[in-house]
Amino acid sequence: MLLTIDAGNTRTKWAVFNDHGEISQQHACLNEQLASVNFSPAVLGYDHTVISNVAGEQHAALLTQTLSPYKLPIRWTKTSTQACHVVNRYSKPETLGSDRWTALIAAWHIKQAPCVVVNAGTAVTIDALHSCEINHELHGEFIGGLILPGLDLMQQSLGLATAQLPKTDASQAPSAPKLDDIFANNTADAIYNGALHAIVGAVQHMVDALTQHSQQVPYIIISGGNALVIKNALTRYVTNQAIIVDNLVCQGLYLLATSTSNENTMKSDAQ
């Protein structure tokens, strides 16, 4: 049984996988609430842990402190040039965030076809996954991507950087934004729709570029806290191609942990 932890900029998500690769438990908390989480193996039923952390060294130390009483092996994900039949074409492969890398690995194993992989959290990452043959075997090939402020962060930044625009948060978002009406007639809708259109437009632009590169229309795989909002906005353009996959990073962590090549992609820190 494996505990996978996806430590993001704002929230920490975790999922426990059984021996059949199925999620038996899954939870999330704000990063500042991590110390209060009960990660006891007696409660969650796991015997080792694998972690993707993009929240910085301080959060990594907190994770270590939280898990150390259980004296179980911990592995911290490191991005590599190739793993689990996915090739990383970043100019400096090790600088690709471990959350993006594990999400790409999970997406490839779900579809094994060209995909645009969207992680919609504090930041939005939009990554292109091409398919190629290596030694007569089909591989996923990460060819590059985009990073944008997330839906909430984009709105908040306008409030912080401008004198007359209101400060907004997710609770102020329109309950039913009318994306087909570009002429928002109040400031709150104009900010929200502007942010959402920016993200949707970037995803659509990536889809168009990857379609031309791969000579086929890619799938769109979306994960993260704002996945549903983005998918609903995309349906007018790519109705049958966009899907939401919960815990995409955790699924990639499971694949890395169980892959025969995982020794090349992770460092072990037995507690």
Residues that are catalytic? 99
Own/partner contacts of 144-147, CB < 8 Å, gap of 24 or more, are: 144/89, 144/90, 145/100, 145/117, 145/206, 146/202, 146/206, 147/123
